[in-house]
Amino acid sequence: MKHFLRILLMFISVIALSDCKKHKTLVELGNEQQILHVGNGDEISTVDPQSTSGMPEYHVILSLYEGLVSKNPQTLEIVPAVAESWEVSDDGMVYTFHIRDSAKWSNGEKLVANDFVQSWLRGLMPALGNEYASSYFVIKNGQNIYEKKVGVEEFGAKVLDQQTLQVTLIAPTPYFLQLLDHHSMYPVHIPTIKKFGALDERGTRWTRPENFVNNGPFILSEWTPNKYLSVKKNPNYWDAKNVHLNEIRYYPIQKSSTEERMFRSGQLHATYYLPRDKLAVYKKTKDPALRSYANYATYFYRFNNRIKPLDDVRVRKALAYSIDRNKIVEYVTKFGQIPAYSLTPPDTHGYVAQAKMPFNISLAQKLLAEAGYPNGVGFPELKITFNTSDEHQNIAVAVQQMWKQNLGINVVLENTEWKVFLDKEKQMDYQIDRASWVGDYLDPNTFLEMFITDNGNNRTGFSNSHYDALLAKAALESYKEKRMAYFQEAEKILVDSVPILPFYTYNWNRLVSPSVQGWYDNLMDYYPFKNVYLIP
């Protein structure tokens, strides 16, 4: 027995001794050494900007690469980056970029115009499986090269001299500069990629910290999957004197409650997200760490427009008009969302959708009766399908109640695992399903093009030739007012046809320590760390 007591005492004293001294927290140490500890949602799949699409990847890639242009994190206006200036032809079809002389790769090599051309051509290689290959289709012959109809020498991006790049577009694309700040448009170091395999081969070892060459403000330093990824200041970056952080550690934390605990105990400067039930507490205490701002994303339901009774616009209208979105955001989701009555989020570069779906129960009842279901009598039982999540479940329950109360119809709820859900949605094997969309660039087009007849993201069966024509016209229009008018008209068609039921514009909530300076909230949740610094 004595032996056991001795072992027990030893065990306890080891615990006690190792932890009784009060250590400085990671945040306190980070503030002294300019090391930022930040939650990044999930483990990233790669740091190759041309074979990834996720947001956690994007946040890391933003530190490692820089495109021709960048965005001001406060205003989201386009600012010079690798290109110090550019000119646009009168017809808006030809862009000439002047690459700054001081632009370099992290290995010290000079960054030249040809690096962009070669990188984009790599992004157009079909075997690479670049999900954003269509980003280059706005450039002359981009699509033809992807489809192997013409040779690469026909590409619309041309090197005029080492420092000058000329890009010819297929149509005036007013959001082209916005598009240039998308990660698929960033330059990659071709010689390094070639050293570790074919240019169009995925997952070769060029993305490993020991091999990696990049052009952004930070370089890849350490990467332990599911632990953290660390980037350090790049001394060869052209604007290195304005980079204040020495290191950033991105933690792939999937559970927001774990993240919040780490923040509270000084292990993180900033969280990726906030647990839903914690928002009220932080708001009540007016915690200065809380950041809450609208996001360029919409939560909506898709209606399967091809099946009965949802093929009848009056039914879809009745369903959409009988939902009290205020109640949903106030009592169900409680995360600061803004009720949405159309698809595009409000105030995107001056565009606010004028067409809106009404919340009008008596009109909804009238429409349902006209469709042949007075007071819901004879209405078949519909199913709302959603992927496993408490939030989706809660919203679906609220919707179920509202339709029951307001229209007298019954719906059942179907909870499915994510990949099963996606599979069903793509096969259109659903009646009503939950959906969301995050805009890729600040332009209504990024939302509205989704419902063009043959767009792969449509998935509702909605097809309107006038709608398609309006978006095609908008794509060719360089006058902003006229373009916006086309979008307004298209959005009105969408609102009148109700292929979808919008609920709310997302709101992003996260915690950022007051010691972090230069981190701005914006609609795109765009937070480059180039100008961020830490104060004690």
Residue 241: name the closest of 530, 33, 534, 515 by CA.
Answer: 530
Nearer to another protein, 69 or 231 (CB): 231
Please state whether beta strands 94-99 and 83-88 pair in parallel, antiparallel, or not at all (unpaired). antiparallel
Report in angstroms how near the CB of residue 344 gets to another protein at its nearest: 17
CB of 40 to another protein, least distance (A): 12
Nearer to another protein, 322 or 513 (CB): 513
Binding residues for another protein (CB under 8 A): 1-4, 7-8, 11, 15, 18-20, 23, 26, 43, 45-48, 51-53, 126-131, 133-134, 201-203, 205, 207-208, 223-227, 251, 253-255, 257-258, 261-262, 264-265, 267, 417-420, 422-424, 426, 436, 455-457, 459
CB of 455 to another protein, least distance (A): 7
Shortest distance, CB of residue 6 to another protein, whole angstroms?
11
Alpha-helical runs (H) found in 208-284: 256-264, 279-284
The beta strands (E) that lie in 225-344 are given as 228-233, 247-251, 290-303, 338-339
Distances, alpha carbon 435 to alpha carbons 14, 190, 297, 298, 317, in Å: 52, 38, 11, 8, 18
Q: How far is the CB of 164 from another protein (least distance, A)?
A: 32
Match 């406060």 to its residue by tokens: 74
Quick one: 178 or 271, whose CB is closer to another protein?
A: 271
Q: Which of 385, 399, 375 is nearest to 325 (CA)?
A: 399
Q: Where are the alpha helices (DSSP H) in 285-417?
A: 313-321, 325-327, 361-370, 390-407
Q: Which is nearer to another protein, 251 or 486 (CB)?
A: 251
Strand 35-39 and strand 247-251: pairing?
parallel
Cα–Cα nearest to 323, from 382, 363, 293? 363
Nearest approach, Cβ of residue 191 and another protein (Å)? 19
Residue 251 or 487: which CB sits closer to another protein? Answer: 251
Listed in sequence order, the residues at least 6 apart from 22 whose beta carbon sits closer than 8 Å to its beta carbon are none
Please identify, using beta-carbon distances, which residue of 112 and 289 lies nearer to another protein: 289
Largest CA distance in the chain: 91
Neighbour-count burial of 426, counting CB atoms closer than 10 A to its CB (0-12 exposed, 13-18 middle, 19+ buried): exposed
* Nearest-approach distance from CB 412 to another protein, in angstroms: 20
Closer by beta carbon to another protein, 130 or else 163: 130
4 versus 481: smaller Cβ distance to another protein: 4
Q: How far is the CB of 268 from another protein (least distance, A)?
A: 9
Query: What DSSP designation does 278 have?
Result: G
* Shortest Å, Cβ 208 to another protein: 7
The least distance separating another protein from the CB of residue 246, rounded to whole angstroms, comes to 18
Token readout for 460 is 């509702």
CB-based contacts of 74: which residues, under 8 Å, 6+ apart? 520, 522
Q: Please, what is the minimum distance in Å from the beta carbon of residue 363 to another protein?
A: 33
Shortest reach from residue 4's CB to another protein, in Å:
5
Residue 210 contacts by C-beta under 8 Å, 6 or more apart in sequence? none
Please tell me the distance from the alpha carbon of residue 421 to that of residue 429, in angstroms, as a whole number: 9
Q: Is 336 exposed, middle or buried (0-12, 13-18, 19+ CB in 10 A)?
A: middle
Comparing CB distances to another protein, the nearer of 20 and 108 is 20
Backbone torsions φ then ψ of 56, nearest 5 degrees: -55, -40
By beta-carbon proximity to another protein, the closer residue of 347 and 423 is 423
Half-sphere exposure of 357 (CA within 13 A, CB side): 33
Minimum CB distance to another protein, residue 58 (Å):
13
Q: Whose CA is closest to 240, among 115, 102, 95, 332? A: 102
Q: Which is nearer to another protein, 181 or 433 (CB)?
A: 433
Nearer to another protein, 144 or 488 (CB): 144
The three-state DSSP-derived secondary structure of 78-133 is EEECCEEEEEECCCCCEEEEEECCCCECCCCCECCHHHHHHHHHHHCCHHHCCCCH
The residues with which 500 forms a beta bridge, in sequence order, are 302
